[in-house]
Amino acid sequence: MRPYLLLICPVLLFLGASYLLPFLGIVQLSFTDPDPGFAQYGHVLSDPLSLGVIGRTLRLCLIVTVVSVTSAYVITLLWVRGSPLVRMITELCIMIPFWISILSRAFGWLSMLSNRGLLNTWLQDLGLIDSAIQMTRNEFAVVVGMSHYLIPFAVFPLATAMRNVDERVLTAADGMGASRLRIFWQVYLPMTASGIMGATLLVFVFSIGFYVTPALLGGGQSVLVAELIYLWIFQIPQWGMAAAMSVVLMIAVGGILYLLIRRYEDVTP
């Protein structure tokens, strides 16, 4: 008997009680409410509405992930490699959003992007557009809002990877005559691939469960999985369906994670 197993027992018990048991409850619900068997899954996986929602969620989350990780890469570059002043400003821009709740941020974007919001008013005042451009209650707003929330989270794995880059390797590439473009694409980017992978995982998993931001900024136009589950629990009580959907989501995320992590091991230096 290895003694350390005994020491981690309390943690395992706590995790089991707080995560595993409720999850098993959900699994049970998905197979029993209202009908015993696979009926709920059959419905979730065949009903055009729920299939559409799953598809839209995966698509939007993919877009959000790409937008967030790309923007975060640029921001992290500034943070890690910028001049001291640039670094300080970037650091503030990364930290401040952490102190603002997700709800306020969604409202912030509403007041920015809505038809009578800041952006439309400015554009009209400047005479660049005649009538307001629809920038809320659609997927565009959801992507903006979600990416804005997720970028700071993507920064940290990227920063770790960038700080681990041996400066001499870049100097060496430069001395061999490689252009800055080549150094970036063929040396720096591959050397930070582990950070990109980590940020991608983190952002994607986070984004799947988003509720507030898409609800507010999508204005019902772009219903995502979390909203649908909410609907099935609180509006038209169909707990079995909600449970089945949760399990499907869980498995989908698990599968994608598995694939990404397998790839991740290939790129970690």
| Shortest reach from residue 168's CB to another protein, in Å | 4
| Shortest reach from residue 172's CB to another protein, in Å | 4
Site for another protein in 158-177 (CB under 8 A): 166, 168-169, 171-177
Specify the residue, 125 or 166, whose C-beta has the smaller distance to another protein.
166
Site for another protein in 72-131 (CB under 8 A): none
Specify the residue, 63 or 165, whose C-beta has the smaller distance to another protein.
165
Q: How many residues bind another protein, per CB under 8 A? A: 19
Report the C-alpha gap between 118 and 98 in whole angstroms.
Answer: 23
Find, among 209, 202, 207, the residue nearest to 159 by Cα: 202
Binding mask of the shown chain, residues 50 to 69, with x at each position contacting another protein by CB under 8 A: --------------------
Q: Residues 205, 208, 211, 212: what is their CA dihedral angle, to the nearest 10 degrees?
A: 60
Helix (H, G, I), strand (E, B) or coil at 76: helix
In 195-226, which positions are buried (b, 16+ CB within 10 angstroms) versus exposed (e)? Answer: bbbbbbbbbbbbbbebebbbbbbbeeebbbbb
**6 scored as a contact of another protein (CB under 8 A):** no
**178 scored as a contact of another protein (CB under 8 A):** yes
Q: Residues 19, 50, 231, 148: what is their CA dihedral angle, to the nearest 10 degrees?
A: 70
| Shortest reach from residue 171's CB to another protein, in Å | 6
Q: Is the distance from CB of 173 to CB of 232 less than 8 angstroms? A: no
Contacting positions for another protein (CB under 8 A): 166, 168-169, 171-178, 182, 186-187, 190-191, 193, 267, 269
